[in-house]
Chains A and B, each alone.
Chain A
Amino acid sequence: MDHRSIIRPEEVLSEYYPPLSDHQAVVEANRCLYCYDAPCTHACPTHIDIPKFIKKIATGNVVGSARTILEANLLGATCARVCPVQELCEGACVLGAEHKPIMIGRLQRYATDHVYDRGIDVFKPGAPTGKKVAVIGAGPAGLSCAGELAKLGHSVTVFEKRELPGGLSTYGIIVLREPVEVSLAEVEMIRRLGVEVKTGVELGKNLSFSDLRAQYDAIFLGVGLGAVPAMGIPGEEHILDGLAFIEQSKVDLVNLKVGNNVVVIGAGNTAIDCATVAKRMGAERVTMVYRRTDREMTAYPHEYDFAKKEGIEFRFLTQPIEVLSENGKVTGLKCLRMELGAPDISGRPSPQPLPGSEFVLMADQVIKAIGQEKPDLAKLLGLETEKGYIRVNDDLETSLPGVYAGGDCVRSRGSASTVMAVEDGKLAAFAIHHKLVPSAGVAADD
C-alpha cells in the first residue's frame, strides 16, 4: 500500500503549535516579570506593550489584552504565529539568559484568538473625516494601513489583485504556521472597521493609477514583491515556483503534487516551508540545495533547527546547473560543488564553482525558493527606486506626493517580514492622517 494513502493532510499540515489552554496561558503569563520599558517591546517592530498584554492575561482581562496587542499591531493574530520571535521579542526577554524566555508569541495568539473566536471587535471606526484613501494590496502592510486609517475616520478602499485578500498571510505562509482562516478573520475585522476590500482588481490592468490619484486624497502601496526569479538553467521549465507550491498547499491542497525525492533550491524561510510541506506530505527524501553554507543562509537559526528535526537534508556549497528529465519527468538535478571566495556586494563570501565537480542529485521534483523579484510596479508608476525597491522617506511617502508605500516593496534595508510590513502600514497611516488632517497633531497610539 502506498504510504501516502495514510497521510491525512489536515493533520500533518495543521497548525504546529496547539493553542495554549487557559491554565497554560495564566501560568506562563504569571512567569512574566512585567519589566519596565521592556526589551521585548523595543525588539518588537510594532512595539506592542508586551508586559502590559501579558499582565492582562494573568489578571483575566483577556479582551483588554487583545486590545493592547491590536492597538500596536492590527494583525496581531498573524504576527503571533509568523513572527520570528526568537529574533525579536522572545530573543530579548530578560529571562532568556538563565531561564526560558516567556512564550510571548503563543500568549499573543491566546489573547487575539480569544477575541476572534468570540467575534469581539475591540475597535470602532473613527468619526468620519471626509477623506478618501486608496490602498493597493491587501497584504499585511495594506491591511494595517487601511485599518489604522479607518480607526482614524478615513474612508478606505483596498484594491487586491488576488481572489482572496491577506497577501502572503493567506497565500504564502504554510498552514503549519498560519491557517488561512486566521488571515481571513483579520481581513473581516478590518472590513468591520468600514474598510472596503475589492479583490480581483490590479493596477495597470483593470485599475487606473491616474484615476485613483484623481479620486483619492492619498494612496498607499503595499504591493509586495514579484515572482520567484528565473534560475537561468537548462530544464528551468520543470522547476516549481516555491510560493506557488505553498499557495497550493493552502488553498488547493487536493491538487498538490509532491514527489518522492524532492529537491528545494534555496535556504531561506520560504525554502524551508516548501521542504516542510513536501516532507510532511510524504516525500521520502527532501534535500535543500544552497550554494553557500549554513552560516550565510537567510533562514533563521530556529527554522534551520526545525527543518533538521523534520528530517530534511541539506546540501550546502551546491549550485544547480541543470534539471534533468526524461519524457517530461524530472529525474535529477545536476549540480556543481562550490567553495567560498571573497565577499560579494552583499558582504557575504561569494561562492565559486569547483571545476570538474559536477554531480547529479536524484530528484523527481525540484522547487525553487530563492527570493522574489523586485516590485515591477515601481517603474510602471514612475516611482523612484532604491536597489530596485520603491524609495520612501521617513514618512513612508514615495517620490510622488500623496503616494505612500510600505512592506516588502520598500524593504531596501533590513529583512522583509510580516511584522515590519504591519509597522510600515501603521506608520504610513499616521503620516497620511497627519497630512490629511493637519489639526489632528500627533497621531494616536504611537
Chain B
Amino acid sequence: MADLSINFAGIKSPNPFWLASAPPTNSGAQIHKAFEYGWGGAVWKTIGAPVLNVSNRYGAWHYGGQKMLAINNVELISDRPLEVNLAEIRDVKRHWPDRAVIVSAMVESTPEAWRDIILKIEDTGADGIELNYGCPHGMSERGMGSAVGQVPEYCEQITRWVMDVAKIPVIVKLTPNITNIVYPARAAVNAGANALSLINTINSIVAVDLDTLEITPNIGGKGGHGGYAGPAVKPIALNMLSALGTDEVVRRSGLPISGMGGISTWKDAAEFLLLGASSLQVCTAVMHYGYRIIEDLCDGLSGWMDSKGFKTISDVVGKSLPRISDFKDFDLSFRAVARIDPEKCIKCNLCYVACNDTAHQCIDLVDAGGNVVQPYRYDVRSNGKHEAVSTRPQPVVREDDCVGCRLCHNVCPVEGCIEMVELPSGRESITWDQLTKARPEVATDWEAMKQYREEVGIEIH
C-alpha cells in the first residue's frame, strides 16, 4: 500500500486531501465530521473582516444533464464572529492532532490588521495559515482578495507583513483572474512565503434567466460576477499549476504548491500531483456529493500509485512536469492518425460529421461492399430496423489524408473505439525552433515554406 501521508512545508497530514477554504469548512462541527470521514486536512473558511452575506449566493453550470459541472458563488468569507471561529479552530485541532488544520485569512490591507489576525490564528494551535488573495467578488470591492492577488506588488507587501510576524507555515493562495499567474507567485516567493496554493475561483456570470431577463442567480433583481469552480475549471488550474512548476524562479525557490481547481476524483488528484502539487484541496465535489468522497479519493489514488510502483506522494509530485513544453519545441515530424475499431464502432457517425464538417475531411462512409457512400442516400421507401442496421455504412479513416487532429477521437462516445496511432512520418525530427533557426525565411515567406514542404514531403490537405 502506498504511503499517502505528506509533509507540506512542515504541515503534516495522513493523506494529501484537504478541504479547501469554502463552505465545507465553515464550522468546527463540519470539520469534525469531515475528519471522521478521513479527510487529511482542512483549510478553514476564511476568517477576518466582518461581512454579511446574501441569499441565492450559489449559481451553477449544468450541461447535457450533468449537474454542477461548475459552481459559481458570491458568498463572502466567514460571516460567523471571529471569536467563535477561533474557539472552534482550537477545539478541532485539539481533537485531531494528526490532521492538518490551516486557517485562511483575509483582512484589510494594513500591517496592523494582518499582525492581529496572524497572532490570533497562531494562538489556536493551527498548523498553518493561508493568505486569501483570490476571492474575486465582494471582498475585492473592499480592496481585499483578488484585488491583492492581481497586483504582484500588493502580494509581496502584504506577504512581507505576514512573514514578519508568522511562526507557522504561510501559504499564499493565488487568483487565476490575472494574465500571468507567475508574477504574483514570484512576489510571494520574494516575500518569503512558505508555500503557494492555486487556483482560487474564476470571475464568472453563470447564466441569464430567459423568462425574466435577470441574472442567474437572481439576488433581489440583480446579479453579478461570482467565483467559478468545479470540474469545468480543472484544465485551467492544471495549466496554471504547470506554469508555476516550470517557472525558473518558483521552481528554484522550492516552495511546495497546494493544488486545487476542480479536483473531483482520484484521477484528477493524480494529475495535480504529477504536475507539481504536493497537497490537494477539494471543494466543489464535496459540495456536490458530501465528505464521503474522500474514501475513493484515497483508495483510488493509492491503488493507482501501487500499480505504478509509487511508494510515496513525493514520488509522484512533478513527475509529468518535464513533459510540459512549448509549441516551438514540439516535434513537427511526429505523426499520428486516427483508427476506428469496427468491432467497437456503433456507427453513430459523430466522427464522420465532425471530421467532414469541421476538421480535415478524411473519414469516409464505406458500405459492406467496400464502396464509399454518401450519408442520407437510402431510398425514401426503405425502412425498418433490419434495413437501417444491415445497410448502415462504416466510418473509415483515410489514413493517408488524416492529419491526426484527434477531433474524432474526442467526439467518439465509445471508449477505446477511435485510437490515435503513431505512424512513422518518414521525416527527420525537427522542431519549429530548430527549423526557423536553420531556415528563418520559412516563418515569413510562404514561398520558402512551400519549398521546405516539398523538400521534406509535407502535403497539406
Give residues 264-293 of B contacting A (CB, 8 Å). Answer: none
Contact residues in B for A87 (Cβ distance below 8 Å): 384-385
Q: How far is the CB of B46 from chain A (nearest CB, A)?
A: 37
Q: How far is the CB of A445 from chain B (nearest CB, A)?
A: 11
Are B385's CB and A43's CB within 8 A?
Answer: yes
In the complex, whether B388 has a CB less than 8 A from a CB of chain A is yes
Are A40's CB and B388's CB within 8 A?
Answer: yes
Contact residues in B for A212 (Cβ distance below 8 Å): none
Contact residues in B for A43 (Cβ distance below 8 Å): 383-385, 387-389
Which of B176-184, B329-337, B343-351 participates in binding chain A?
A: B343-351
Nearest B-chain residue to A415, judged by Cβ: B384
Contact residues in A for B413 (Cβ distance below 8 Å): 33
Are B350's CB and A37's CB within 8 A?
Answer: no
Are B350's CB and A33's CB within 8 A?
Answer: yes
Contact residues in A for B383 (Cβ distance below 8 Å): 42-45, 47, 88, 420, 423
Q: Give Cα A44 to B383, complex, Å.
A: 6
Q: Give Cα A137 to B229, complex, Å.
A: 62
Contact residues in A for B389 (Cβ distance below 8 Å): 39, 43, 91-92
Q: Give Cα A237 to B461, complex, Å.
A: 77
Contact residues in B for A33 (Cβ distance below 8 Å): 348, 350, 413
Nearest A-chain residue to B345, judged by Cβ: A94
Which of B2-10, B24-32, B302-310, B374-382 participates in binding chain A?
A: B374-382
**Residue-wise interface mask of B (366-407) relative to A, using a CB-CB cutoff of 8 A (1 in contact, 0 not):** 000000000110101011110111011000000000000000
Contact residues in B for A427 (Cβ distance below 8 Å): 380
Q: How far is the CB of B201 from chain A (nearest CB, A)?
A: 27
In the complex, whether B64 has a CB less than 8 A from a CB of chain A is yes
In the complex, whether A34 has a CB less than 8 A from a CB of chain B is yes
Contact residues in B for A40 (Cβ distance below 8 Å): 388
Are B384's CB and A94's CB within 8 A?
Answer: no
Are A88's CB and B385's CB within 8 A?
Answer: yes
Contact residues in A for B349 (Cβ distance below 8 Å): 35-38
Give residues 347-372 of B contacting A (CB, 8 Å). Answer: 347-350, 352-353, 365
In the complex, whether B221 has a CB less than 8 A from a CB of chain A is no
Count chain B residues whose beta carbon lies closer than 8 angstroms to a beta carbon of A.
24
Contact residues in A for B346 (Cβ distance below 8 Å): 94-95, 97-98
Contact residues in A for B424 (Cβ distance below 8 Å): none
Given that A34-B350, A36-B348 are known contacts, is A26 also in contact with B388, CB under 8 Å in the complex?
no
Main SS at interface, chain B: loop
In the complex, whether B65 has a CB less than 8 A from a CB of chain A is yes
Q: How far is the CB of A82 from chain B (nearest CB, A)?
A: 15
Q: Give Cα A86 to B384, complex, Å.
A: 9
In the complex, whether A27 has a CB less than 8 A from a CB of chain B is yes
Contact residues in B for A58 (Cβ distance below 8 Å): 64-65
Q: How far is the CB of A27 from chain B (nearest CB, A)?
A: 6
The answer, among B365, B380, B388, for a CB contact under 8 Å with A39, is: B388
Contact residues in B for A95 (Cβ distance below 8 Å): 346
The answer, among B65, B365, B378, for a CB contact under 8 Å with A42, is: B378
Q: How far is the CB of A264 from chain B (nearest CB, A)?
A: 27
In the complex, whether A446 has a CB less than 8 A from a CB of chain B is yes
Q: Give Cα A33 to B349, complex, Å.
A: 10
Nearest A-chain residue to B377, judged by Cβ: A37
Nearest B-chain residue to A46, judged by Cβ: B383
Given that A33-B413, A37-B375, A39-B389 are known contacts, is A446 also in contact with B350, CB under 8 Å in the complex?
no
Are A36's CB and B353's CB within 8 A?
Answer: yes
The answer, among A34, A37, A42, A97, for a CB contact under 8 Å with B387, is: A42
Are B352's CB and A36's CB within 8 A?
Answer: yes
Q: How far is the CB of B113 from chain A (nearest CB, A)?
A: 49
In the complex, whether A385 has a CB less than 8 A from a CB of chain B is no
Given that A37-B376, A58-B64 are known contacts, is A42 also in contact with B347, CB under 8 Å in the complex?
no
Are A26's CB and B65's CB within 8 A?
Answer: yes
Given that A42-B378, A92-B389, A97-B346 are known contacts, is A30 also in contact with B64, CB under 8 Å in the complex?
yes
Q: Give Cα A155 to B286, complex, Å.
A: 64
The answer, among A35, A38, A42, for a CB contact under 8 Å with B382, is: A42
Q: Give Cα A31 to B65, complex, Å.
A: 8
Contact residues in A for B64 (Cβ distance below 8 Å): 30, 58
Q: Give Cα A58 to B66, complex, Å.
A: 12
Given that A43-B383, A88-B383 are known contacts, is A30 also in contact with B65, CB under 8 Å in the complex?
yes
Contact residues in B for A97 (Cβ distance below 8 Å): 346
Q: Give Cα A44 to B346, complex, Å.
A: 19
**Residue-wise interface mask of A (57-70) relative to B, using a CB-CB cutoff of 8 A (1 in contact, 0 not):** 01000000000000
Nearest A-chain residue to B365, judged by Cβ: A37
Are A94's CB and B347's CB within 8 A?
Answer: yes
Q: Give Cα A446 to B365, complex, Å.
A: 22
Q: Give Cα A38 to B348, complex, Å.
A: 7
Contact residues in B for A420 (Cβ distance below 8 Å): 383
Nearest B-chain residue to A29, judged by Cβ: B65
Contact residues in A for B391 (Cβ distance below 8 Å): 42
**Residue-wise interface mask of A (174-204) relative to B, using a CB-CB cutoff of 8 A (1 in contact, 0 not):** 0000000000000000000000000000000
Contact residues in B for A35 (Cβ distance below 8 Å): 347-350
Contact residues in A for B348 (Cβ distance below 8 Å): 33, 35-36, 38, 94
Q: How far is the CB of B408 from chain A (nearest CB, A)?
A: 12
Give residues 420-445 of A contacting B (CB, 8 Å). Answer: 420, 423, 427
Q: Give Cα A343 to B376, complex, Å.
A: 38
Among the interface residues B65, B353, B388, which one has the most CB atoms of the partner chain A within 10 A?
A: B388
The answer, among A39, A89, A91, for a CB contact under 8 Å with B392, is: A39
Contact residues in B for A37 (Cβ distance below 8 Å): 349, 352, 365, 375-376
Given that A33-B413, A47-B380 are known contacts, is A42 also in contact with B388, CB under 8 Å in the complex?
yes
Q: Give Cα A192 to B353, complex, Å.
A: 39
Q: How far is the CB of A446 from chain B (nearest CB, A)?
A: 6
Give residues 8-36 of A contacting B (CB, 8 Å). Answer: 26-27, 30-31, 33-36
Q: How far is the CB of B9 from chain A (nearest CB, A)?
A: 44
Q: How far is the CB of B332 from chain A (nearest CB, A)?
A: 32
Q: Give Cα A26 to B64, complex, Å.
A: 9
Nearest B-chain residue to A31, judged by Cβ: B65
Contact residues in B for A89 (Cβ distance below 8 Å): 385
**Residue-wise interface mask of A (398-429) relative to B, using a CB-CB cutoff of 8 A (1 in contact, 0 not):** 00000000000000000000001001000100
Contact residues in A for B378 (Cβ distance below 8 Å): 42
Q: Give Cα A301 to B352, complex, Å.
A: 34
Nearest A-chain residue to B378, judged by Cβ: A42
Among the interface residues A37, A43, A58, A98, which one has the most CB atoms of the partner chain B within 10 A?
A: A37
**Residue-wise interface mask of A (377-415) relative to B, using a CB-CB cutoff of 8 A (1 in contact, 0 not):** 000000000000000000000000000000000000000
Contact residues in B for A45 (Cβ distance below 8 Å): 383-384
Q: How far is the CB of A276 from chain B (nearest CB, A)?
A: 24
Q: Give Cα A235 to B123, complex, Å.
A: 102
Q: Give Cα A91 to B387, complex, Å.
A: 11
Contact residues in A for B385 (Cβ distance below 8 Å): 39, 43, 86-89, 91-92
Contact residues in A for B347 (Cβ distance below 8 Å): 35, 39, 94
A-B pairs, top 10 by smallest CB distance, nearest first, are A91-B385, A30-B65, A37-B375, A43-B388, A36-B353, A42-B388, A36-B349, A45-B383, A92-B388, A94-B346
A-B contact pairs, 26 of them (CB 8 A): A26-B65, A30-B64, A33-B350, A35-B350, A36-B349, A36-B350, A36-B352, A37-B376, A39-B347, A39-B389, A42-B378, A42-B382, A42-B383, A42-B391, A43-B383, A43-B387, A43-B388, A44-B383, A58-B65, A88-B385, A91-B385, A92-B385, A94-B346, A95-B346, A97-B346, A446-B380
Known pairs A98-B346, A423-B383, A446-B380; list 4 more (Cβ under 8 Å).
A37-B349, A39-B388, A43-B387, A45-B384
